[in-house]
Structure formats: structure tokens, C-alpha cells
Amino acid sequence: MEDYETLLKKAYEKVKVVSSNSDRFEVPKVEGLISGKSTIIVNISAIAGYIRRPVDHLAKFLQRELATPGKIENDRLILNTKQSSIKVNEKILQYTKEFVICNECKKPDTEIINERGIKLKHCLACGAKSPVRSSI
């Protein structure tokens, strides 16, 4: 049988660390350009990294919400239509409210988990779970 210290060390290795800083959570603004009939979002990887979500999930959400096809190329999202940065920023904020920010404590320390076929937003700060859209 293992002693308490060894078991405690194993438990701490499995726990996900949540930063306890109280800085304001602010999503980076879109940096992009319009080239012909396309909108190129240059910092999509930085935004996805900041909110700790996969780039392809964020890109798929934007394509669906903006009703336009697109593709990820060289860490950039290329949308096949002209979009204003204001509208894209609004959709990214909508994404963070739906898929990142905890519904209970309003912190961004969440992860998407799949439990019994239902996608849930699990808060690492308070432990709350809330369902999210499964299909994007």
C-alpha cells in the first residue's frame, strides 16, 4: 500500500492547473485584410491559442455563423467573402460566450468534454458543467 505523500503527489500530477490571476479576460481583436473577394484573418491561431480552443473548431464556427466557406492555410483563415472586422469580432465574442466562458462563475478556465454523447463545457475553476452545441 502506498503512503499518503505518494498518493497526494499522483493526484496533483493528474489535476489540471488553473491560473489564479485576476486579470481581465479580453479576446484579441482580429487582424486581417481583404484581398479581392476574400477576407484573410491573419491571427486566427493566436486567438484560438488565447481562448484555448482548436483552430479548426473556431474556424468552423466562424464559417457557419458568417455563412461563408473558408479554409485554414499557413495559420491564417481565408473566408471566401468580404467581411468587416467588426462583424468577425462580434462572432468571436459570441463563440467565447458559448464555448469558453463558464455560465456560473464567468471565468474562461473551461474545457469541452464529451460525457455520454453530450458535449459539455466543464469549468476547471468552479467545477460546473453546462451543455454546448454539439454540431457546428
Q: What angle do CA 35, 55, 129 make, to 5 degrees?
A: 140
Question: Which is more confidently placed, 97 or 13?
Answer: 97
The whole-number pLDDT of residue 101 equals 93
For domain 29-100, give the fold: Defensin A-like (3.30.30)
The whole-number pLDDT of residue 133 equals 80
The whole-number pLDDT of residue 1 equals 67
The whole-number pLDDT of residue 22 equals 47
How is the chain split into domains, by residue range?
29-100, 104-136
* Cell representation of residue 52: 484555448
Q: Does residue 96 register a pLDDT over 80?
A: yes
Integer Cα distance of 41 and 85 in angstroms: 9
Could you report the per-residue pLDDT of 19-33, keeping only the tens digit for each? 555 457 788 899 999
The whole-number pLDDT of residue 25 equals 77
The whole-number pLDDT of residue 15 equals 75
Could you report the per-residue pLDDT of 41-65, keeping only the tens digit for each? 999 999 999 999 999 999 999 999 9
The residues, ordered by sequence, that sit 6+ positions from 68 with a Cβ below 8 Å of its Cβ are: 79, 80, 81, 83
